[in-house]
Amino acid sequence: MTDVVSSPAGVIDKPARRDIGIKRRYRAERRFRAYGIAALSFGLLFLALLLWSVVSKGYTAFQQTMITVPVEFSEQIIDKDNERATDPQKLMTANYPIVARNAVAKALGVAENDTAGLRAVNQMISNGVRGQLRDMVLANPQIIGTTQTVSLLAAGDIDSAFKGQIDLSVTEQNRKISDRQVGWMNQLVEAGALGKHFNTGIFVNGNSSRPEAAGVGVALIGSFYMMLIVLVLSLPIGVAASIYLEEFAPKNRLTDLIEVNINNLAAVPSIVYGLLGLAVFINFMELPRSASLVGGLVLTLMTLPTIIIATRAALKAVPPSIRAAALGLGASKMQTIFHHVLPLAMPGILTGTIIGLAHALGETAPLLLIGMVAFVANYPTTPMDPSTALPVQIYMWANEAERAFVERTSGAIIILLLFLIVMNVGAILLRRRFERRW
């Protein structure tokens, strides 16, 4: 039996008076929560501000002002000497803007000898009508000599004025649209000939110096090619590299060095990748400039570290007991990885990949360096053709002076944001789908 040592002066025998400051602790906790909510609200406020500013400026870009008038496809103007059977170029090069101008002038009652008036009318319709009417005639040459009701593209300034984006109260000299044109515009509105239509052009047209005819079609195709290249290259390379590093490679100085460098690469400014792409792919390998192939390769280099890091984290997160179970059953290392570890890591890998892709989709700086900032009006048919990308298109439009480009810039931003939202939602859905197996 050991003796119980009695405590000196009976200090611990008395019930202790605890002074732990319960109230102070609760206050500290409440304060901390308040900080958190404040930080969150701050972030949300700016997000709301961003979305509001972009959407309020940009939603009008999805509507386009059109002038709907009966157009007389006059044989006199289109094919005076009736050569269209022998000369196929005839219908391609006919003076369609005059056809359109005459149609609008007739609707407005402008005399045929009022040269200044006709010129002013001409300024109200977009140059894009040339292609519009030409395509109609080429598709169906029978309409020559008849009168058809056509919705003609209005000029950018009329579009802006009709949408209320141009201040009409200033003096005539200080705006790009004359009083007479404003009068005509109102006359057409009253006749029901001038109105807003859904703007399919912004999705399908190539770039144009005229805002009313400019669209992100080329940029969409370019971005699509690049995303395809990034996905096809960076996913297999990234996943293979991660699996090797995580599961097979010996842990030594060299692999440590590689790991540190991959982490560093993820933090390298993207413009440096642009310079690398310029030096390697364009100057050394002599791939074409402005091609989405080069853009895709550069973005692949940029995305690889992100995917490798995400994949390694996902592989690490697979419980070791699963590996032990498979190995204990006599599965080889390859079988263990491909049958058990990889499927379990898939949600993490896919999320990392989609976030990497979304990052690449929004990347601008490296593309500027490899010449993707070019003015491209024609659709690229292969990734080797000159092309541009969505964020670069936004950058280019933001540099334009015309008022109508402001809304188009915001419109393109909305399109880009929509794609990013779709990709992120896709990441979440894929994650859910793979995680909710049991």
Q: Closest approach of Cβ 240 to another protein, in Å?
A: 21
Q: Please identify, using beta-carbon distances, which residue of 69 and 342 lies nearer to another protein.
A: 342
Q: Please identify, using beta-carbon distances, which residue of 63 and 336 lies nearer to another protein.
A: 336
Residues 375-434 that bind another protein (CB under 8 A): none
Phi/psi for 195 (5° steps) reads -165, 170
Q: What is the 3-state secondary structure (H, E, C) of the chain?
A: CCCCCCCHHHCCCCCCCCCCCHHHHHHHHHHHHHHHHHHHHHHHHHHHHHHHHHHHHHHHHHEEEEEEEEEECCHHHHCCCCCCCCCCHHHHHCCHHHHHHHHHHHHHCCCCCCHHHHHHHHHHECCCHHHHHHHHHHHCHHHCCCEEEEEEEECHHHHHHHCCCCCCCCCHHHCCCCHHHHHHHHHHHHCCCEEEEECCHHHHCCCCCCHHHCCCHHHHHHHHHHHHHHHHHHHHHHHHHHHHHHHHCCCCHHHHHHHHHHHHHHCCCHHHHHHHHHHHHHHHCCCCCCEHHHHHHHHHHHHHHHHHHHHHHHHHHCCHHHHHHHHHCCCCHHHHHHHHHHHHHHHHHHHHHHHHHHHHHCCCHHHHHCCCCCCCCCCCCCCCCECCCHHHHHHHHHCCCCHHHHHHHHHHHHHHHHHHHHHHHHHHHHHHHHHCCC
Residues 203-232 that bind another protein (CB under 8 A): none
Tell me how many residues contact another protein (CB under 8 A): 20
**CA separation, residue 74 to residues 17, 105, 126, 132, 305 (Å):** 104, 14, 20, 16, 62
Q: Closest approach of Cβ 227 to another protein, in Å?
A: 31
**Which stretch in 56-64, 338-346, 363-371, 381-389 sits in contact with another protein by CB under 8 A?**
338-346
Q: Please identify, using beta-carbon distances, which residue of 14 and 437 lies nearer to another protein.
A: 437
Q: Please identify, using beta-carbon distances, which residue of 90 and 431 lies nearer to another protein.
A: 431
Q: Closest approach of Cβ 329 to another protein, in Å?
A: 4
Tokens of 358: 């979304």
Residues 91-120 that bind another protein (CB under 8 A): none
Q: Please identify, using beta-carbon distances, which residue of 20 and 329 lies nearer to another protein.
A: 329
Q: Closest approach of Cβ 258 to another protein, in Å?
A: 17
Q: Please identify, using beta-carbon distances, which residue of 284 and 438 lies nearer to another protein.
A: 438
Q: Closest approach of Cβ 286 to another protein, in Å?
A: 46
437 binds another protein (CB under 8 A): yes
Residues 40-79 that bind another protein (CB under 8 A): none
Q: Closest approach of Cβ 323 to another protein, in Å?
A: 8
Binding residue (CB under 8 A) for another protein from 340, 374, 420, 426: 340
Binding residue (CB under 8 A) for another protein from 251, 253, 286, 401: 251
Q: Closest approach of Cβ 438 to another protein, in Å?
A: 3
Q: Closest approach of Cβ 350 to another protein, in Å?
A: 17
Q: Please identify, using beta-carbon distances, which residue of 196 and 323 lies nearer to another protein.
A: 323
Contact 225, 380 (CB under 8 A): yes
x/- track of binding to another protein for residues 306-335 (CB under 8 A): -------------x-xxxxxxxxxxxx--x
Binding residue (CB under 8 A) for another protein from 30, 80, 339, 433: 339
Q: Closest approach of Cβ 128 to another protein, in Å?
A: 58
Q: Please identify, using beta-carbon distances, which residue of 192 and 330 lies nearer to another protein.
A: 330
Interface residues with another protein (CB under 8 A)?
Answer: 251, 319, 321-332, 335, 339-340, 344, 437-438
